[in-house]
A and B are shown apart, each in its own frame.
Chain A
Amino acid sequence: MQRQSAARLGPLLLLLLLPLAWGKGPSPPRAAEELQVSNRLAGQAARVALHYLNYRLGSPSALRALGQVRKATLKTIPGIGHKYYLQFTTEDYKSSLNVGTCLATVFYLKRKPRPAVNINCTYTKDQKQIREDDYSFYKKMRQQTKPIIGNDIPDSYGNIEPALEPAWALAVAGSSYLMWEKSTENLGYFMAQVKNVKQWITKDDSIDFDYSVVLHEIPTQEMISCHLRVIWTPGHPLKVKYFCLSENQWSESEEGSGTESGSTNGIFNEKEAHF
């Protein structure tokens, strides 16, 4: 897959913010196929949608992982690409407790470098608590006079030092941007480990980190080393730059896209019953 520096996706961004219209696709109708929920391509697409969500929400305390796929349909649009329509449950990334359901479309386009995602979710975790947890991490980092540093998170035995846990979570959020960009219909990613984290003390409102992360690539089983620069202010979009060792240039996320995180992405704090 060709790597380009991040395209400006202005008009496409607006499209992505519109609420999902379930079941409606481009006309005339194309070949549509219902997939088994255990189908790996469905799970793969659901994970791509969650990478996008985790990046856009930019909240270390609200990271989500895939629970189970409940429904999956694939539409083949000749000459253009493959579009997945998905319904899946989600789990809290750290605790694995169920935190709600999502509806998403994931469109793998032949001519665009990264999948186009549209996603809407219910969320059963307490939003106020999330904001407080995010802010408490942010405040602690803002108060550092000496930059925090860390290595091997988790360590070989699966332990994560509590003090470094939010920095690890922010790495997951930042890596989500890069994993979304790199994902294809057949190549998927997980963040396996933070090899290194180093904070940059800033003069503005943001907190700023340099990360070395290792991504696990499926199905190749390759481990890919990447450098990430993540700049964050709670309630604002994450700013992410990255450089992976197989590439020869930095890639950047959109900066100051002007969209709010949270409610405009259609995240509802409803109970499960509504689905």
Chain B
Amino acid sequence: MYQIKESNSELVTQHYLGMTYENRPVYYLKISQPSDKVKKIIWMDCGIHAREWISPAFCQWFVKEILQNYKTDPKIKSFLQNLDIYILPVLNIDGYIYSWTTERLWRKSRSPHVNGTCFGTDLNRNFNGSWCSKFQVEAAEKAAVALKGKHGTNFTVGPSSLVLYKTSGSSRDWAHMIGIPFSYTFELRDKGAYGFILPPDQILPTCEETTTAVMTIIEYVNQKDAVGAGETWSCHSFSGM
């Protein structure tokens, strides 16, 4: 992250969010074209669930895509005039590292409970906020169409309680509760054959199609007049929400 900030310092700043249980610093990137304008904000977090490796991979890919193309791609140029993009590439750092070093299918954080006999909180069940099902259908459906155009992958759009399963205390619930108008969860590949342990040859196509979808939504929000603060989304892999 430091290197990205250093080589793109006209656009990228790195910010400190806090420390994890295992004393690792949590950083996020802000991608912002300096200007006098009041900007809408896009917030994207990845890696809330340790085992969903495709999620941090996607955040990294997405940052690369923006930084590689913002000078030449007119769409990116245009939305960076009105939007600031915040990206937290790995939210659950302790869990993510644990899934690399010790247990591949770990999901939660590494906070100890009951005198260290039990570890972890599901970080996407722990937000304050009641269960809700509001979503911006139009933007999501446009995104699904654009995504399918990339590699033919079908995405289902709908309230997560109907399409996936019911949860409470997810980041999306919290976002809605604090008044963020567009809030999405992306459940990335695959559909279960390999699940969390995605074959390497699917990493790139997943990142490409998801980037297309995210860009579609950003453009949609960019074109809407003053809807509000902006939007947030959270990326998971395969039924991981």
Do A and B associate with each other?
A: yes
Residue ranges of A at the interface with B (Cβ–Cβ < 8 Å): 36, 38-40, 47, 65-66, 68, 93-94, 96, 152, 154-160, 190, 192-193, 214, 216, 218-219, 221, 223
Query: Is the CB–CB distance between A216 and B122 below 8 Å?
Result: no
Interface status of B154 (Cβ within 8 A of chain A): yes
Query: Is the CB–CB distance between B156 and A221 below 8 Å?
Result: no
Query: Is the CB–CB distance between B193 and A221 below 8 Å?
Result: no
19 A-B pairs (CB sep. < 8 Å) = A38-B158, A38-B162, A39-B162, A40-B162, A65-B192, A65-B193, A66-B192, A154-B197, A154-B199, A156-B100, A158-B202, A159-B200, A190-B192, A193-B104, A193-B105, A219-B164, A219-B166, A219-B167, A221-B107
- Select one of B99, B163, B200 contacting A40, CB under 8 A: B163
Query: Is the CB–CB distance between A156 and B158 below 8 Å?
Result: no
Query: Is the CB–CB distance between A190 and B200 below 8 Å?
Result: no
Q: State in angstroms the CA–CA spacing of A155 and B194 once bound together.
A: 11
Q: State in angstroms the CA–CA spacing of A65 and B240 once bound together.
A: 18
Query: Is the CB–CB distance between B199 and A159 below 8 Å?
Result: yes
Query: Is the CB–CB distance between A68 and B105 below 8 Å?
Result: no
Instruction: Identify whether the interface residues of B are mostly helix, strand, loop, or mixed.
Output: loop
Q: State in angstroms the CA–CA spacing of A93 and B202 once bound together.
A: 14
CB neighbours (8 Å) of A47 from chain B are 192
10 nearest A-B pairs in the assembled complex, by CB-CB distance: A219-B165, A158-B199, A190-B192, A38-B156, A156-B104, A154-B197, A65-B193, A223-B105, A158-B198, A158-B197
- Select one of A36, A39, A192 contacting B195, CB under 8 A: A192
Interface status of B75 (Cβ within 8 A of chain A): no
Q: State in angstroms the CA–CA spacing of A214 and B107 once bound together.
A: 14
Q: How many A-B pairs fall under 8 Å by CB?
A: 69
Interface status of B196 (Cβ within 8 A of chain A): yes
CB neighbours (8 Å) of A68 from chain B are 154
Nearest-Cβ distance from residue B171 to partner chain A, whole angstroms = 16
- Select one of A40, A96, A159 contacting B193, CB under 8 A: A96
Q: State in angstroms the CA–CA spacing of A192 and B195 once bound together.
A: 6
Which of B158, B166, B167, B197 has the most chain A CB atoms inside 10 A of its CB?
Answer: B197
Query: Is the CB–CB distance between B165 and A40 below 8 Å?
Result: yes
CB neighbours (8 Å) of B142 from chain A are none
CB neighbours (8 Å) of B104 from chain A are 152, 156, 193
Within 8 A of A (CB), among B171-210: 190-200, 202
CB neighbours (8 Å) of B193 from chain A are 65, 93-94, 96
Nearest-Cβ distance from residue A101 to partner chain B, whole angstroms = 15
